[in-house]
Amino acid sequence: MTTRHLADAIGYTQPVLYGHFPGGKSEIMLAVALEGFVDLTRQCRAALGRKRGRRAIEAVAVAYLDFGREHPAVYEAMFQQPIDARFASDDTESELRAGFDALAEAIGDNGDGTVTEVFWAALHGLSLLERAGRMRAEHRSYRIAELGVRFAADPPQ
């Protein structure tokens, strides 16, 4: 994602864009990423609803993967562009924390968040591989079902 592409996409010139974000590209990418996390969280929470167990996991997985496919530039800003955001720390931005919490709720992670990190990593990897055409599109439902089986299982003792 370039600032030129972003400016074109929202109908502004680059100088106007930089006028609103004096911190430059990193400030712009952070704003886009944080708004992306708000939208992704909203989509995941809507998919989750009152579902629990495997149905919850699969619904959130579909919502996450659909978001990445439908908003590739925003997803890139969220996860691939350098942004000044703190992940996995006490002062993580609320937008990021809310997204993480939605994933944790879907899988029922009441621990230290490690299982949620693995779930998130699986979703992120699938998203990137799907968008790059490295996965068989017709097998998407099988991959999602596999996530449901793996993450709904009772944790090892």
Q: What CATH number should be reported for the domain holding residue 80?
A: 1.10.357.10
Q: Is residue 157 part of a domain?
A: no
Q: Is residue 74 part of a domain?
A: yes
Instruction: Tell me which residue range forms the domain holding 75.
Output: 3-152
Nearest CA-CA partner of 102 in 23, 37, 153, 151: 37
DSSP 76-102: HHHHTS--S---SSTT--HHHHHHHHH
Provide the Cα torsion 28, 33, 39, 42; round to 10°: -140
| Segments in the chain below pLDDT 70 | 1, 9-10, 154-157
What is the pLDDT at residue 157? 43
Q: Is residue 144 part of a domain?
A: yes
Q: Is residue 48 part of a domain?
A: yes
What is the pLDDT at residue 1? 63
Asked if residue 36 lies in contact with residue 93, where contact means CB atoms within 8 angstroms, the answer is no
Count of structural domains, the chain:
1
